Amino acid sequence: MTEHIMGNLLIIGGAEDKEKDCKILKYYYREAGEKRSRICVITAASEDGEQAGIIYRDLFMKFGCSNIDVIAIQDRASANVGENIEKIVQASGIFFTGGDQLRITAMIGGTAMGMALQHLYEQGVIIGGTSAGASVMSDTMIIGGQGDTPGEDLIQMAPGLGLLKGIIIDQHFAQRGRIGRLMTAVSLNPYFLGIGIDEDTSVHIRNDGNFRVIGRGTVLITDASCAVISNVDDLNNGKPLALAPVKVHILSEGWRFNITERTSFLSEAEGFSMNHSELSKKEMKQEATSS
């Protein structure tokens, strides 16, 4: 699964703190280069992105960034304007605001800006996105669906920007009860990892295949690659989903996840670098010794 691990992405579940500690946004600012950073805020997800752009511009300036551009993409023509592409190419950080993820792909997909973003991604420039700006990171994204019981009527999907392959992102996860639609999305291709991110919570995916959780909520990862039971072909008949077994990881700040190995572990900074399989082996050995 090495196709997952190229890049440098900060994916935010939405409603990140903008008034108190601003932990996630300050983390993004540091990763973009702090006072040396050149940040481009892209507001393509909103028909009227001016206000959203101003909010993030003012915050990054408050942190110390003196070189920041807000790029309002209202049509595909503006995603091909040379001046906008030049700003993107020179950026040390790209940030997508929230809104409607379909607008991002409709306005940017296949344009000069879309190709420039792919190049920056491959070069390791940090690309951040919140809410709709998070969902659009993957090659397949969720664009709609409600409810708690997994089934086909819960899910609508479309192509994303294609930065992450084999992963589906969902945002506002716990707050909007979206586990049903994420499980349905994963059932349609159990090879895909599903990642549900709570509000004011983020994952930072690096090019070594590891991501870390940052923020006050949790991240839920679903892995159905080992499933031997699936009735996904019956969902058209209105039946609820049956899918088993499914591995689920629920991680909070301080925990990391390896996308290639599909294992979770505590950060060394937290005094722990042992993944869960190694931990289980150690516990079994200790039990055997004590008995």
| Residues recognised as catalytic | 131, 172, 199
What is d(CA 145, CA 212) in angstroms, rounded to the nearest whole number? 27
Task: Write the CA distances from 188 to 161, 201, 285, integer angstroms.
Answer: 19, 26, 39
Nearest to 88 by CA among 112, 58, 56, 54: 112
Please state, in angstroms and rounded to a whole number, the distance separating the CA atoms of residues 223 and 258. 12
Reference 259, options 191, 198, 201; nearest CA is 191
CB atoms within 10 A of CB 54: 13
Residue 152 DSSP SS3: helix
Q: How far apart (Å, rounded) are the C-alpha atoms in residues 123 and 25?
A: 22
Nearest-angstrom CA–CA distance, 85 and 124 = 17
Dist CA 56 CA 290 (whole Å): 56
Q: Is the dihedral of CA 100, 255, 16, 146 positive or negative?
A: positive
How many Å apart are CA 90 and CA 110, to the nearest integer? 20
